[in-house]
Structure 1
Amino acid sequence: MQDIRLVGFDGDDTLWRSEDYYRAAEKRYEEIIGRYIDLHDARTLRHLLEVERRNLKVFGYGVKGMTLSMIEAAIELTDARISARDLQQVVDIGRDTLGHPVELLHGIREAVEAVAARWPVVLVTKGDLFHQEDKIARSGLADLFPRIEIVSEKDPPTYARVLAEFGIEPQQFVMVGNSLRSDIEPVVRLGGWGVHVPYAITWAHEAEHGLAEEHPRVRTVASAAELPEAIAGIVADVAAG
């Protein structure tokens, strides 16, 4: 009989706020680009998303990749007319975003403590190594996770590697996160389980996924307080076979 032997938690927008600061950065970026072009005609943020997507394999995820993509997009959108002073302001946006406060989501520490009291837990978070390490340290949650994985991408091979290192099968693993694309779908594709905790804001890239609605291996909760019960429900389903 299989049982749940490990519960994974995502970091950004699952444990602490993150996307809010990226959206604020985009608005500041728009203000700078608006000095050169008509924002409504240029579809500025859509262009920025396209640049970020094509740069993911080079710059990776996170604020630094976003900032480099902002600079590249700004040069393209303005036909290289943007001034060095304004490019410096784009760099400043990135620096300010890297230093944003780490604000835990309501009730998340209590929820992780409750889950960790019943099952082994691991933090699996994606993005820039230095920034993720800094946020984890400032979050005050590091003591709850015996092991922390900071990865460049969340895909089936990455999760398969982590699970192999723990010596467990995918069906013995539950992943908790806000992103269906990165936190839930890859685990479900491997045969594992997911608990989706939707966040109010989702990056367009992360909103794209291939999971069907009401997937039998996915539970959706409205708040952190519901996490222990949702995982217990999965455990019951696994036990029932």
Structure 2
Amino acid sequence: MNPIKLIGFDADDTLWKSEDYFREAEATFLEIVGRYEDVSASAESLYALQSRNIALFGYGVKGMALSMIEAAIEFTDARISAKDIHRIVEIGKAMLDHPVELLPGVAEAVREIATQYPLVLITKGDLFHQERKVEASGLADIFQRIEIVSEKNEAAYRRLFKEFDVDASEFLMVGNSLRSDIAPVVALGGFGIHVPYHVTWVHEQAEIHAGAERWRTAASAQDIVRTLAELAGSPTH
């Protein structure tokens, strides 16, 4: 008997490109700050500052832009010019204005899975930006619910299970982040399909030491359907 009753999909770097733009923004930021100071350790320092600010700014482009401004002032002892601060603001605006570029095979895979299961999109980040990307993706009509959350942790998934009246063992999550998409779901007794992206923010990296029988890695979007069929035939644990 198929145990899966509901499937969740991550958005950024699972359905469409995202981290590439953050990396490009970081490189431009370091080029700006590098005109004032040695930036050999600035990437690590920027990440440390971003991590501290997540509780205040949340995830997404706006939080990163604010952190870059703060970091630029801190790294240069407030010597950075107003012109260069404005350049950093423009980096953020450009990221918010990027077109939505679906990953290869994603639309076909999601639509095929939607013929067999109800789907929910679960993403985190800035509300307005994520809503715009979902709408621009052309995939919004496939999902029964769009969930934009402040954090994807066990508490967030428990709320989702309650709202949809499903047990953890009846849910499967598809995403590129082991930390946010796979680990909390598996820890609760659910299933997961990890679809690695070619670059992953260090904050989203993790290891999973339990529940190996309940999650798999799919090499690409085209591989998700086959991997789902494998897991759907697995007994619940």
TM-score normalised by length of structure 2: 0.97
SS in 1 for 2:12: coil
Aligned AA (2:177): S
Spell out the pairing of 1:41-190 with structure 2 (5 A cutoff).
Answer: 43-190=41-188
- Aligned mates of 1:48, 1:234 — CA distance in 2: 39
Stretches of 4+ moved more than 4 A in 1? none
- Aligned mates of 1:76, 1:216 — CA distance in 2: 47
SS in 2 for 1:72: helix
Aligned residues: 237
**Preserved contact between residue 2 and residue 171 of structure 1 (Cα < 8 Å):** no
**Preserved contact between residue 4 and residue 174 of structure 1 (Cα < 8 Å):** yes
Which residue number corresponds to residue 37 of structure 2? 37
Q: CA deviation at 1:172?
A: 0.3
- Aligned mates of 2:45, 2:70 — CA distance in 1: 11
- The one-character-per-residue Cα deviations of 1:124-179 (angstroms, maximum 9, x if unpaired) are 01110000000001111101112111111000000100111000000100000000
- Aligned mates of 1:214, 1:189 — CA distance in 2: 7
Aligned AA (2:216): R
Gapped regions of structure 1 (runs ≥ 5): none
Moved more, 221-230 or 154-163: 221-230
**Are residue 235 (structure 1) and residue 218 (structure 2) matched?**
no
Which residue number corresponds to residue 5 of structure 2? 5
Which residue number corresponds to residue 23 of structure 1? 23
Q: CA deviation at 1:213?
A: 8.4
**Are residue 212 (structure 1) and residue 222 (structure 2) matched?**
no
Gapped regions of structure 2 (runs ≥ 5): none
Percent of aligned positions with the same letter in both sequences? 55
TM-score normalised by length of structure 1: 0.95
Q: CA deviation at 1:2?
A: 7.1
Q: Structure 1 pair 2/111, CA: closer, same or farther in 2 (3 Å)?
A: closer
SS in 2 for 1:85: helix
- Aligned mates of 1:203, 1:131 — CA distance in 2: 19
Q: CA deviation at 1:201?
A: 0.6
